[in-house]
Amino acid sequence: MIKIDFKNVSSSVIGEKYGLDIESEFGVYAPKIEEIIKNLNFNKDKQGAWLQWMNLGYSEETLWYVKEYAAMVENRFDNVLVLGIGGSALGAIAFCHALLKPNWNLLSKEERGGYPRIFFLDNIDPDEIQSLLNILDLKRTLVNVITKSGSTAETMAQFMIIKDKMQSLLGDDYRKNIVATTDKQSGVLRQIANEEGYKTFVVPDDVGGRFSVFSPVGLVPMALVGIDIDDIMNGIKTMDLALKNTDINKNIAAQNALIHYLMDTQKGHYITVMMPYSSKLKYVSDWFVQLWAESLGKEVDREGNLVNIGPVPIKALGATDQHSQIQLYNEGKHDKLINFIRVDEFDNVVEIPKIFEFTGINYLGGKTINELINAEADATAVALTDFKRPNLTIRMPKVNAYYMAELFYMLEVQTAIAGELYNINAFNQPGVEQAKNYTYALMGRSGYEESRNELEEKIGIKKEENN
Ligand code: PA5
């Protein structure tokens, strides 16, 4: 299983001013943590508790339908194009980047084991969209449009463009190139899918976008490119079982949640840096940043009191960002907790040849790149510790579907527990909804006219210009 090493957060290593007396804090918080874990598990089937993500690892039916569909479309497409944003894209991006062979889309069909290339459009940059349309053969492309609400402007605008082009190329047969993932009954995409007769998958009730990676939101794109989703389910189940343990000394998600909470509230270390030492894990940080930020950045607590709280997540990549961010982390403000992710075994061992023997780089010759990245990760952790900067290390035996699932599920549970410690609702996102609604208003969606007038005044757009 994945493990976490907290020793460099402890006051015995980095001193009392910035470190935590972990043993004593675990003792103090043990009853609270026990109650939180019991409640999470007790309430997970309760309607409106937004905890259905805790059941996704056990959804054999979903697994079966996703695999059946993936098998049905196998060999029919050269490309998969995923349209989605935020929680509807980040999880699958992270899994595909970690688990597919590097440079997947540049490999031949044989090298990809017969599976299609995969592209994600999770932004509305006109140049990006146009350049993708220029290279994709839409006749040979399966589009997976994913939106829980069914109306997110970015995703639906992309979908309108692609659907229009596909229909002019394929006529009514274009439907066979679409698979929609959305709410089971509400939303514009559900209505369109029903009317047009698309194949659909459901984003289950009470699963928020950022907790949806193990629903069809993430599983469909992964299965389409041959990622072993059985392994994913097994990884979730193993971790779920471990995290049902209500003893803080045996529950890594609870330990990590508590450490982050105390570091923020007691020591002013409110910035969470997520820094994997593996290029495959680069987009784990993007997914985590959303999970941590949207879940924990809140205006009010559970009782409605104004609190304006939330730790600030930052993404970094080792060793690359040693050369851009570590100066700040070693010497800047004492406000960051660095989370390393280390991989015990890389897929490859790359040797550095013994050349330039009479120069200052001869020490590298005969070593491996593996030794170098590990030495750099060790060195960075020691240097941070010397500077009394709290840092912890999540260790993954290997980057595969099973351990990725363990890692993601652990981080989800950690976030849910942190939400309870902060006494906020980790599962809503009123701050996101507000900007979404303003966009609808500015783009002239019906029902948003009043808001539009107000907004135009705020932005300073003259009404005559729009008339
Ligand atoms: O986590 C969230 O709720 C958000 O990031 C959503 O996933 C994102 O806004 C996309 O929403 P939807 O899936 O409704 O298109």
Is 251 close to ligand 1, i.e. is its CB under 6 Å away? no
Does 269 participate in catalysis according to the annotation? no
Place of tokens 């879940």: 295
- Which pLDDT belongs to residue 467? 46
- The Cα–Cα gap between 119 and 84 comes to 11
Cα angle value 121/125/129 (rounded, 5°): 55
For residue 6, CA distances in Å to 11, 183, 252, 256 come to 11, 40, 10, 8
Which of ligand 1's atoms lies nearest the C-alpha of 87?
A: 7
Angle between helix axes 252-267 and 22-43 (nearest 10 degrees) is 120
Whether 294 is a known active-site residue: answer: yes
Q: Is residue 155 in contact with ligand 1, taking CB distance under 6 Å? A: yes
Answer whether 259's CB lies under 8 Å from 269's CB. no
Q: What is the DSSP code (8-state) at residue 319? A: T
The domains located in the chain, with CATH, are 3-43+246-422 (3.40.50.10490), 52-232 (3.40.50.10490)
pLDDT (tens digit, 0 to 9) for every residue of the chain, 467 residues total?
999 999 999 999 999 999 999 999 999 999 999 999 999 999 999 999 999 999 999 999 999 999 999 999 999 999 999 999 999 999 999 999 999 999 999 999 999 999 999 999 999 999 999 999 999 999 999 999 999 999 999 999 999 999 999 999 999 999 999 999 999 999 999 999 999 999 999 999 999 999 999 999 999 999 999 999 999 999 999 999 999 999 999 999 999 999 999 999 999 999 999 999 999 999 999 999 999 999 999 999 999 999 999 999 999 999 999 999 999 999 999 999 999 999 999 999 999 999 999 999 999 999 999 999 999 999 999 999 999 999 999 999 999 999 999 999 999 999 999 999 999 999 998 888 778 788 888 888 888 887 777 787 778 765 555 54
Q: What is the CA radius of gyration of the chain?
A: 24
CA distance 251 to 79: 41
Output the CA 33–ligand 1 centroid distance in Å. Answer: 29
The verdict on the CB of residue 190 being under 6 Å from ligand 1 is: no
Q: Of the residues 52, 148, 427, which should be mutated to test ligand 1's pocket, given the most ligand atoms within 8 Å of the CB?
A: 148
Instruction: Verify whether residue 334 is a known catalytic residue.
Output: no
CA–CA distance, 175 with 164 (Å, rounded to integer): 11
Q: What is the distance in A from the centroid of ligand 1 to the CA of 210?
A: 7
The confidence score (pLDDT) of residue 20 equals 98
Specify the 3-state DSSP secondary structure of 409. Answer: helix
Report which protein residue has its CA nearest ligand 1's atom 12.
147
Cα–Cα distance for residue pair 238/417, rounded to 1 Å? 18
- Is the distance from CB of 141 to CB of 81 less than 8 angstroms? yes
pLDDT (0 to 100) of residue 462: 56
Dist. CA 36 → ligand 1 center (Å):
26
Cα of 362 from ligand 1 centre, angstroms: 51
Decide: 297 and 430 in contact? Cβ < 8 Å.
no
* Closest by CA position to 466, among listed 440, 455, 435, 456: 456
- Structure token digits, residue 269: 């270390």
- Does the pTM surpass 0.85? The reply is yes
